[in-house]
Amino acid sequence: MSDDELIWRIAGGSGDGIDSTSQNFAKALMRSGLDIFTHRHYPSRIRGGHTYVEIRAADHEVQSRGDGYNFLLSLGDSFARNPQEEAFYGNEEIKPLSENLDELREGGIIVYDEGLISEEDVEAINLEERAEENNWHVFPIDLRSLAKEHGREVMRNTAGVGVTAALLDMELEHIENLMSDAMSDDILEANLEILHEAYEMTIEEYDFEHDLRAPEGTHETEQALLSGSNAIAYGAIDGGCRFISGYPMTPWTDVFTILSQNFPDMGGISEQVEDEIAAAALAVGASHAGVKAMSGSSGGGFALMSEPLGLAEMTETPLVLVESMRAGPSTGMPTKPEQGDLEFVLYTSQGDSSRVVFAPGTIEEAYEQTRLAFDIAWEYQIPTIIIYDQKLSGENTNVDVEFFDREPEPGLGTTLTEEELLEAAHDASGKFERFGYDDNEKNVSKRSLPGQKGGRYLATGNEHSPVGHISEDPDNRVYQMTRRIEKLDSIREELDEEHPSNQTYYGDETADYGIITWGSSHGAVAEAVERLNDDGHSVKGITVSDMMPFPEKEMTEFLESVDEAMVVEMNATAQFRGLIQKELGRFGEKLTSLLKYNGNPFEPAEVVEGYEVNVAEEEREPTAQVRIEPAAGD
């Protein structure tokens, strides 16, 4: 837990502008040269209800939310209601203060809005006593009045930022510039006034006894702050996608929204439709007609897409779907992350169906693998799925702007032009042998598009002959089925040769203890591995992104090189560990699991603890809300 980092938490009521304020502040910190990682916690309701955003900023790379935090700006919940004693959502304006104290580090700072949080409430939670115990520095400031005096009450967020900047000894320049960019003149002036007023007032009226100051850093290159949803949307744009169809469902809605907002200017098409079956079916229809198309949803909506997914596979229509996991089963916890849909995404849809599944673990991978998903879908005429979660979808990280400086790839892969169709095989009635027996490089037969001369055929979800006639001929069935399934082998070969980087290795190469994870748990695990090695342990880690086709060779090598390994994932049934055992057919005795499924992502300390309990076989349960699932045979 290094002290050269700031983890700033802004807490308030949902709808109080926590999100936009934190976005701006995070960007200001990034502009001052720091690396950023944000984490968002919010309840499933529109207004009111305790919510917070954490911004971790340091002069070195940050890959996770970190452990705990060291600065709390508590604005109170201005939408608080439900005065009944037992009310689930509570009336507690105080929650943004009281609910956050457990994770505040020793020596941390608390600023709370005295204008909204009453003195009695503060007394009732024994803040003074706790502050003394933990050496917290508490600043009760009437942010509300300050905001009201110079503008409007809602601008208390700005006052809070001003106080923060003063206490952390930050320059206001970056914050001012961002405000000027984001605000219209009429509110800008008032906000700037409030910002300065709060800043000056804090410096004048308080003694700073705390040690915490904003870290200093520089970036050699220009940075951009973006989320996993941004990265997926941008990967799609650069992968040539210009058609999106969807139905809103948290957290997939972000990707849907970003593309819907950009497509009109790019000549793309976005459709919000009646349900998720339609959404995926539209993507299939658009792709069939010759456009690079995508759809997506979260677990419940993805369940409905299982039919069109199978249709795309059987008709060999290229298709990209994204699945943003949230805690299930059923509607589960709409705003909480979980990695619980892995098996569902791998196996949903009837028959021996196959698809490609990528699970990016970082913002860069989200971009990269979305591009790859389009490439592979159109090259191999197979559905590809990006599985990610509420965590990756919402967390913001800074990325080198250069990273995105590349050429788009709109190519339609193995789609023929009319000239090429002239040369292609046709049956006696002039139908194009779309699913022909010859010309099957990598198990892919070339495709034509409706409206092309000489390309006429029938696409059908039934088993079909080379020109697409429904067929139950046994030889044809075996041929077509085998070819469709074996595409995965061809894809595996290509991935091994050209994209082994989908898997990320870290830690001590010579270690005989391994930690394995996937998807968005990557950051916390990578930091934990680094910390363990710094503390004198010897551990190596791997984060896997290729879920299907599975990276057999890479995983086998990794597991052969260790005596024991712990699989870290955010679900209750150890789905990824199950996948490893299923795919490799061995290593069961080497694998234990560290599972977390309480709605919050892993913090690095929990992974460190899991390792200690596991390896040292200490007679204790881990303290955090995680579970250890012992190796098979135990």
Residues 392-421 that bind other proteins (CB under 8 A): 401, 404-408, 410-412, 417-418
Find the binder of other proteins among 128, 129, 132, 222 (CB under 8 A).
222
Stretch that binds other proteins, among 65-73, 163-171, 199-207, 271-279 (CB under 8 A): 271-279
Find the binder of other proteins among 286, 359, 525, 608 (CB under 8 A).
286
Q: Nearer Cβ to other proteins, position 354 or 396?
A: 396
CA 200 to each of CA 32, 135, 365: distance values in angstroms, whole numbers, following the listed order: 20, 25, 43
Find the binder of other proteins among 84, 180, 331, 462 (CB under 8 A).
462
- Torsion of Cα atoms, 493 then 499 then 504 then 509, to 10°: 70
Sort strands 396-400 and 223-227 into parallel, antiparallel or unpaired.
antiparallel
Helix (H, G, I), strand (E, B) or coil at 25: helix
Q: Does 183 bind other proteins (CB under 8 A)?
A: no
Find the binder of other proteins among 289, 422, 478, 632 (CB under 8 A).
289
Q: Does 180 bind other proteins (CB under 8 A)?
A: no
Q: Does 547 bind other proteins (CB under 8 A)?
A: no
Q: Does 303 bind other proteins (CB under 8 A)?
A: no
Q: Does 311 bind other proteins (CB under 8 A)?
A: yes
CA 398 to each of CA 55, 373, 441, 442: distance values in angstroms, whole numbers, following the listed order: 12, 23, 41, 38
Q: Does 449 bind other proteins (CB under 8 A)?
A: yes
Stretch that binds other proteins, among 37-45, 110-118, 151-159, 282-290 (CB under 8 A): 282-290
Angle value at C-alpha 123, between 122 and 127, nearest 5 degrees = 70
Stretch that binds other proteins, among 68-76, 239-247, 484-492, 538-546 (CB under 8 A): 239-247
**Binders in 329-388 for other proteins, by CB under 8 A:** 367
Task: Give CA–CA dist 132/472, Å, rounded.
Answer: 78
621: left (phi over 0), alpha (psi -120 to 50) or beta: beta
Q: Nearer Cβ to other proteins, position 312 or 626?
A: 312
User: Which residues have C-beta within 8 Å of that of residue 182, sequence separation ≥ 6?
Assistant: 20, 24
Find the binder of other proteins among 224, 303, 624, 631 (CB under 8 A).
224
Q: Does 282 bind other proteins (CB under 8 A)?
A: yes
Q: What is the DSSP string of 522-583?
A: HHHHHHHHHHHHHTT---EEEEE-EEES--HHHHHHHHHT-SEEEEEESSSS-HHHHHHHHH
Phi, psi of 464 (to 5 degrees): -145, 160
Selection from 383, 71, 374, 371 nearest residue 213 by Cα = 71
Selection from 75, 72, 141 nearest residue 107 by Cα = 72
Q: Does 422 bind other proteins (CB under 8 A)?
A: no
CA 399 to each of CA 30, 54, 61, 283, 361: distance values in angstroms, whole numbers, following the listed order: 10, 18, 11, 30, 14
Q: Nearer Cβ to other proteins, position 224 or 615?
A: 224
Find the binder of other proteins among 430, 474, 536, 633 (CB under 8 A).
430
Q: Does 278 bind other proteins (CB under 8 A)?
A: yes
Quick one: DSSP state of residue 631?
A: P
Q: Does 497 bind other proteins (CB under 8 A)?
A: no
Residue 39 token pair = 């984490």
Find the binder of other proteins among 119, 184, 185, 267 (CB under 8 A).
267
Stretch that binds other proteins, among 129-137, 159-167, 197-205, 448-456 (CB under 8 A): 448-456
Q: Does 293 bind other proteins (CB under 8 A)?
A: yes
Find the binder of other proteins among 188, 203, 277, 425 (CB under 8 A).
277
Count residues binding other proteins (CB under 8 A): 83
**Binders in 14-33 for other proteins, by CB under 8 A:** 27
Selection from 375, 336, 338 nearest residue 358 by Cα = 375
